[in-house]
């Protein structure tokens, strides 16, 4: 059964304290791995798509990497405005749907 597991469930950082979020997945034929950011009361906001092992994407303080079994979202020198829930999702070979993890709730204190 296709599955996505994110860890940790919650992460508290001090401003400037770099860290990584993990997304482990099992899927029958990965078509894409997606990272989203969700703020309270809003829908998920698309961040990155990764398609093959070894691929990396960067955006401001965020960097996403992909291996055959997991993805990492590295946050470098985070700021309070980076506080949000970060969601990982995979698309399988059945097409048309994403399987989401439960998310990591990130809190960055000044």
- Nearest approach in angstroms of CB 78 to other proteins is 23
Calculate the alpha carbon distances from 17 to 6, 11, 13, 54, 79 in Å. 20, 11, 6, 25, 9
The residue from 71, 73, 92, 108 that contacts other proteins (CB under 8 A) is: 92
Q: Give yes or no for residue 78 binding other proteins (CB under 8 A).
A: no
Cα radius of gyration rounded to whole Å, the chain: 13
Q: Give yes or no for residue 40 binding other proteins (CB under 8 A).
A: no
- Nearest approach in angstroms of CB 99 to other proteins is 7
């Amino acid at each position: 059964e296709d599955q996505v597991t994110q860890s940790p469930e919650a992460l508290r950082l001090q401003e400037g304290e770099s860290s990584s979020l993990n997304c482990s997945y099992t899927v029958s034929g990965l078509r894409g791995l997606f990272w989203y950011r969700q703020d309270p009361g809003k829908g998920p906001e698309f961040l990155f798509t990764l398609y093959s092992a070894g691929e990396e994407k960067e955006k401001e303080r965020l960097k996403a990497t992909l291996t055959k079994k997991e993805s990492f979202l590295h946050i470098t020198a985070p700021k309070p405005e980076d506080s949000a829930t970060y969601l990982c999702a995979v698309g399988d070979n059945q097409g048309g749907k994403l399987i989401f993890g439960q998310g990591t709730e990130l809190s960055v204190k000044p």
